[in-house]
């Protein structure tokens, strides 16, 4: 239909031009042909007059009427000669042939003959009149009048006109046909070129040369893409930091306030019943820390599992509550799960299966059919909730983490126009490791329902693409990290997650470093000069807390002078404690810590202080500011936000970060002391080095670390994903328009 309109828009003016040309040309040709006929008749009349004038002269002077009639009758045998007559000196028509037109008197004939085009319109048709003198020497008999019939010329003109119009109609049709065929072929070529161009395949040249008529459009497209690139680059500029305002601007400008939905297992606010009434808690979760600022900026809907004991008491009839409680800015919609569902989907498949599968932490993944069934069912429940919550047919949906590998495809089936961004917060293993999952193909297919699939690092992206390549029939464009499955494409890209960088007002609210130092030491009965390293994690076997304890032990062995002067304070938030592996791990750690503390400590001194507690972010900031070092020894970690939180809290430029080489953050933070946590010697040395590092070196390292984290903050993480989503939406809109054109061609 659109193509028809496009062609009509082109062909209508073409037909108009042809009709106008015909309209002007036909009378012109008419006139020309008449002029030629008149000129022809002038000479013809002259010739006739010259031929017969002597004979006529003789016949008239000899009053030989028979001879005169015979001359005249011979003449009018010519069907084009209508009549011949003689005008005498008195202006009277003294002789005339039969059929001589009535309306032509001598005076009329004289008047007409003087005109440049000596023609006269009579009721029976037009005639040509020629008047020739009839004389010999000085003797004049009057004038010979010759009247020619012009109707044959008119008939010839009519025929010419008809042929001309026919010619123009055929010409127009031929041009129109050629135009339609050319446009059809060009548009097809152009659509392919434009698609390639939008994918950034650099096919602009062939695209332009194959369809030069569409160059202006190509230039527009190129300009649009350039603009986008520049805009993106300008947003990248370190002077122009990503902020909540900038993210909000992006949502409004690039996504034009499109509907945004977030899906995660963990909710950002948990309502709990306590003896003092309902209290609101914030979970210890990197995911929540990162996604919450996006929701605050876009006022969307966050769909999550309602896990708090008072969660049902505070929601409305749509299971929704407005959050944050102190300044509501977005909706939290809760999904209720039965105990069995939670055990099968969350604890079972997600945390006993996928979590150890993706973290190479030497804990054997457990895959039970019943867990898988619950995983599928709960994914479907969340998909239904998303679809029911969507107000538009093309919302932007941010799917969070390994709990929802099947969700993207389930949503895609019902909302094919949605932009689904799935972010996988944990590492992705190599194909061999992933292959042990019995439902690997289903999981991969589910994830490929996403428009954009994000990981923290390029290495995880590479592992994912290789895994898909190994287990699914897809088309992979390695150059652009695009996977095509069932006519849909998924962009696989790294978006390193980060934290909110505190502004001046927040920093001003922090207690001084001295206060934080003394508060921390007082709380644990340590002397003012006691050196402290801090560890903050969920109580999880992937975080390398056991290895950390071993490193403390080894450092004290190697540097006995540190005994009594150094402690590592570990704040471990209880997590997934109902799972066997977590319980064994916690027991093992407690035992190890006790051994170390017995070996090097006493009543008043513990080298390893283990606090199995969840702390508010204010307390954590004070701990970070009061410590000499922060220790992150994850055995495998998607990113690790604790390392970045430590850096952001150290505006005094002091403090040392010890960071595992197996945390995604290690790639961004090379100024940390990077360690292999499995290498106890190396980690122990790093601990000692941190405790003895000169202030100058600390400042130099910390300054660089702070610059990196400040620039690569969480708004940049979200902004880059949403920019890519906006670009993908723009591209899909243009492609849809082009597709409908080409389909109608």
Q: Report the interface residues with ligand ADQ, using CB under 6 A.
A: 284-287, 289-290, 425-426, 497, 536-538, 571-573, 614-615, 620, 637-642, 645
Shortest distance (Å) from residue 284 CB to ligand ADQ? 3
Using CA atoms, how far apart are residues 520 and 271, in angstroms rounded to an integer? 30
Q: CB-wise, 642 or 658, nearer to ligand ADQ?
A: 642
For residue 2, give both structure tokens. 């659109």
Closer Cβ to ligand ADQ, 410 or 642, answer by number = 642
Least gap, CB of 429 to ligand ADQ (angstroms)? 14
- Give the Cα separation of 71 and 84 in Å (integer): 10
For ligand ADQ, which is the closer residue by CB, 349 or 402?
402
Q: Which is nearer to ligand ADQ, 76 or 611 (CB)?
A: 611
| Residues contacting 513, CB < 8 A, separation 6+ | 625, 626, 652, 654
Q: Under a CB-based contact definition with an 8 Å cutoff, are residues 408 and 480 in contact?
A: no
Please give the Cα distance from 241 to 710 (Å, whole number): 8
Q: How far is the CB of 332 from ligand ADQ (least distance, A)?
A: 19
Between residues 453 and 620, which has the closer beta carbon with respect to ligand ADQ?
A: 620
C-beta separation of 286 from 639 below 8 A: yes
Integer Cα distance of 6 and 183 in angstroms: 10
Residue (637 or 685) nearer to ligand ADQ, CB: 637
CA 305 to CA 336: how far, in whole Å?
6
CB of 319 to ligand ADQ, least distance (A): 25
In the chain the first and final C-alpha atoms are separated, in Å, by 9
Question: CB of 360: closest distance to ligand ADQ in angstroms?
Answer: 13
Q: How far is the CB of 208 from ligand ADQ (least distance, A)?
A: 44
User: Which C-beta is closer to ligand ADQ: that of 56 or that of 658?
Assistant: 658
Residue 542 C-beta: closest distance to ligand ADQ, Å: 7
Q: Which residues contact 368 (CB under 8 A, 6 or more apart)?
A: 344, 348, 349, 353
709 touches 498 (CB < 8 A): yes
Closest to ligand ADQ by CB, 37 or 285: 285
- Token pair of 264 as six digits: 């995660």
Minimum CB distance to ligand ADQ, residue 591 (Å): 20
Three-state DSSP class for residue 254: coil
Round to whole Å and give the CA distance between 263 and 423: 10
Picking from 505, 448, 526, 513, the residue whose alpha carbon sits closest to that of residue 481 is 448
**CB contact set of 265 (below 8 Å; sequence gap of 6+):** 304, 305, 346, 350, 400, 401, 403, 404
Kindly give, in sequence order, each residue whose CB lies less than 8 Å from that of residue 280, ignoring residues fewer than 6 positions away. 269, 270, 271, 272, 325
In the complex, minimum distance from the CB of residue 643 to ligand ADQ, in angstroms, rounded to a whole number: 8
CB of 640 to ligand ADQ, least distance (A): 5
The least distance separating ligand ADQ from the CB of residue 430, rounded to whole angstroms, comes to: 18
Q: Which is nearer to ligand ADQ, 605 or 662 (CB)?
A: 662
CB-nearer residue toward ligand ADQ: 569 or 691: 569
- Min dist. Cβ of residue 611 to ligand ADQ (A): 8
Nearer CB in complex with ligand ADQ: 389/400:
400
In the bound state, the residue with its beta carbon closest to ligand ADQ is: 286
Considering the complex, state which of residue 386 and residue 497 has its C-beta at the smaller distance from ligand ADQ. Answer: 497
683/742 with CB nearer ligand ADQ: 683
DSSP string, 127-195: EEEEEEEEEETTEEEEEEEEEEE-HHHHHHHHHHHHHHHHHHHHHHHHHHHHHHHHHHHHHHHHHHHHH
Nearer to ligand ADQ by Cβ, of 285 and 451: the residue is 285
Q: At closest approach, how far in Å is the CB of 614 from ligand ADQ?
A: 4
Q: How far is the CB of 537 from ligand ADQ (least distance, A)?
A: 5
Nearer to ligand ADQ, 127 or 350 (CB): 350
Which region, left, alpha or beta, applies to residue 674 given φ > 0 means left and ψ of -120 to 50 means alpha?
A: beta
Q: What is the Cα–Cα distance from 676 to 670, expressed in whole angstroms?
A: 14
- CB atoms closer than 10 angstroms to residue 396: 25
Four-residue CA torsion sign, 23, 24, 27, 32: negative
Write phi, then psi, for 413 (nearest 5 degrees): -60, -30
Q: Cβ of residue 599: shortest distance to ligand ADQ, in angstroms?
A: 26
In the three-class reduction of DSSP (H, G, I as helix; E, B as strand; rest coil), residue 83 is classed as: strand
Extended beta strands in 193-340, E state: 260-264, 270-274, 277-281, 301-305, 320-323, 330-335
How many Cα atoms occupy the beta-carbon half-sphere of 425 within 13 Å? 23
């Amino acid at each position: 239909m659109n193509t028809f309109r496009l062609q009509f828009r082109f062909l209508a003016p073409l037909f108009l031009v042809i009709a106008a040309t015909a309209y002007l040309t036909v009378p012109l040709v008419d006139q020309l042909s008449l002029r030629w006929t008149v000129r022809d008749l002038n000479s013809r009349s002259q010739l006739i007059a010259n031929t017969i004038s002597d004979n006529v002269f003789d016949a008239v002077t000899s009053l030989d009427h028979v001879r005169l009639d015979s001359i005249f009758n011979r003449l009018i045998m010519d069907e084009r000669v209508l009549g011949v007559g003689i005008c005498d000196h008195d202006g009277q028509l003294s002789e005339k042939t039969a059929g001589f037109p009535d309306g032509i008197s001598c005076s009329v004939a004289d008047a007409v003959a003087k005109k440049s085009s000596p023609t006269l319109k009579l009721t029976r048709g037009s005639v040509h009149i020629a008047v020739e003198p009839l004389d010999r020497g000085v003797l004049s008999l009057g004038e010979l009048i010759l009247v020619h019939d012009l109707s044959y010329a008119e008939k010839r003109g009519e025929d010419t006109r008809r042929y001309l119009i026919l010619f123009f109609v055929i010409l127009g049709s031929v041009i129109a046909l050629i135009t339609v065929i050319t446009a059809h072929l060009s548009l097809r070529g152009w659509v392919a070129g434009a698609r390639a161009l939008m994918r950034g395949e650099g096919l602009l040249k062939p695209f332009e040369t194959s369809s030069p008529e569409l160059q202006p459009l190509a230039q527009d497209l190129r300009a649009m893409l350039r603009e986008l690139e520049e805009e993106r680059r300008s947003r990248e500029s370190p002077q122009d930091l990503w902020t909540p305002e900038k993210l909000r601007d992006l949502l409004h400008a690039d996504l034009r306030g499109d509907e945004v939905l977030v899906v995660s297992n963990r909710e950002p606010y948990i309502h709990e019943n306590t003896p003092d009434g309902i209290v609101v808690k914030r979970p210890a979760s990197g995911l929540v820390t990162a996604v919450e600022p996006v929701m605050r900026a876009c006022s969307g809907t966050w769909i999550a599992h309602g896990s708090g004991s008072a969660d049902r008491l505070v929601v409305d009839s749509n299971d929704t509550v407005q959050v944050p409680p102190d300044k509501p800015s977005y909706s939290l919609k809760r999904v209720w799960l039965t105990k069995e569902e939670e055990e099968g989907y969350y604890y079972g498949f997600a945390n006993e299966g996928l979590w150890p599968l993706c973290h190479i932490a030497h804990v054997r993944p457990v895959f039970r059919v019943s867990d898988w069934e619950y995983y599928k069912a709960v994914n479907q429940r969340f998909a239904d909730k998303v679809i029911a919550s969507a107000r538009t047919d093309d919302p932007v949906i941010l799917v969070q983490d390994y709990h929802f590998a099947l969700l993207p495809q389930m949503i895609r089936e019902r909302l094919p126009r949605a932009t689904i961004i799935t972010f996988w917060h944990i590492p992705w293993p190599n194909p061999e490791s992933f292959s042990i999952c019995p439902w690997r193909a289903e999981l991969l297919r589910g994830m490929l329902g996403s428009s954009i699939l994000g990981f923290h690092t390029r290495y995880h992206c590479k592992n994912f693409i290789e895994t898909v390549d190994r287990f699914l029939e897809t088309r992979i464009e390695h150059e652009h990290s695009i996977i095509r499955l069932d006519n849909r494409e998924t962009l696989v890209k790294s978006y390193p997650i980060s934290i909110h960088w505190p502004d001046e007002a927040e920093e001003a609210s922090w207690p001084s470093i001295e206060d934080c130092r003394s508060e921390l030491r007082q709380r644990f009965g340590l002397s003012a000069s006691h050196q402290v390293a801090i560890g903050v994690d969920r109580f999880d076997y992937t975080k390398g807390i056991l290895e950390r304890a071993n490193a403390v032990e080894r450092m004290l062995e190697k540097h006995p002078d540190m005994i009594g002067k150094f402690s590592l304070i570990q704040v471990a938030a209880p997590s997934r404690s109902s799972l066997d592996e977590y319980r064994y791990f916690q027991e093992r750690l407690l035992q190890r810590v006790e051994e170390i503390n017995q070996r090097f400590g006493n009543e008043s001194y513990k080298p390893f202080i283990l606090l199995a507690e969840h702390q508010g972010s204010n307390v954590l900031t004070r701990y970070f500011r009061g410590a000499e070092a922060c220790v992150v020894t994850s055995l495998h970690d998607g990113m690790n936000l604790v390392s970045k939180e430590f850096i952001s809290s150290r505006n005094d430029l002091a403090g040392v970060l010890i960071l595992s080489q197996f945390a995604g953050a290690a790639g961004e933070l090379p100024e940390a002391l990077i360690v292999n946590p499995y290498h106890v010697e190396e980690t122990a040395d790093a601990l000692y080095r941190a405790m003895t590092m000169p202030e100058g070196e600390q400042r130099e390292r910390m300054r660089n670390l702070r610059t990196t984290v400040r620039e690569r903050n969480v708004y940049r993480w979200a902004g880059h994903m949403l920019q890519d989503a906006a670009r993908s939406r723009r591209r899909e809109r243009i492609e849809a328009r082009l597709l409908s054109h080409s389909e109608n061609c």
